[in-house]
Amino acid sequence: MAASNSKKNAASAKAVLEQANPGLWFCNWRIWLEARRLLDQALGPLGLRAREFWLLAIAGAGEFSQHEMAELCGVDPSALVAMLDGMEHRGLVRRERNPRDRRVQWVRRTEAGDELFQHALPRAKRAEARHLAVLSEAHQRQLVASMRKLITTTK
């Protein structure tokens, strides 16, 4: 009975959405929800979640402070602290005080974080490819290029 209600609710939601003609923000949100689900599923066997994967990506890309990471990820700084605490406890990242400004902590990947990221990256790319498979290669390139343009010209 529960599966029947779930299918009925999904069909009702789809009908409402088709009538509402959702725009960019709603579509982007729905795409992100599915992307996160696929990424969590792909990274789960490695003991990694999507948000941790992105934090590892940023931590390995140069010198970023906790504050900068929070801004890049759109995460409240206090929530980021809890995420980094867990990752630091697992030996994936380390925080270092900026010697010129003790209020600033840089976040860097550890050797274990580098190794895990190298295992996770191909899995993430395969999950992305599965998500985009409904589009032709030309449409995939166009979508990603358009999204990058929106990202780099926003603010």
- Looking at residues 94-105, what average pLDDT do you find? 88
- Asked if 132 contacts 140 with a C-beta cutoff of 8 angstroms, the reply is yes
Roughly how many angstroms between the first and final C-alpha of the chain, as a whole number?
Answer: 48
Confidence of residue 6 (pLDDT cuts 50, 70, 90): low
Distance CA 27, CA 10 (A): 16
**Which alpha helices (DSSP H) does the chain contain, by range?**
2-20, 24-43, 50-59, 66-73, 77-89, 111-132, 137-153
Taken as a whole, the chain contains a residue count of 155
Q: What is the CATH number of the domain that holds 45?
A: 1.10.10.10
Q: State the total domains in the chain.
A: 1
What is the structure's pLDDT at 11? Answer: 73
For residue 37 the two structure tokens come to: 């689900």
What is the structure's pLDDT at 18? Answer: 72
Parent domain of 47: 27-153
Within a domain: residue 105? yes
Within a domain: residue 111? yes
Each residue of 54-99: pLDDT tens digit? 999 999 998 889 999 999 888 899 999 999 999 999 999 999 998 8
Put the strands of the sheet holding 64-65 in their side by side order.
Answer: 64-65, 101-109, 93-98
Within a domain: residue 115? yes
Strand partners, 97: 105
Distance CA 132, CA 144 (A): 10
Strand partners, 105: 97
Within a domain: residue 17? no
Within a domain: residue 4? no
pTM for the whole thing?
0.80
Within a domain: residue 43? yes
Each residue of 108-117: pLDDT tens digit? 999 999 999 9
Within a domain: residue 11? no
Within a domain: residue 98? yes
Q: Residues with Cβ < 8 Å from 50, sequence gap 6 or more? A: 35, 36, 39, 40, 43
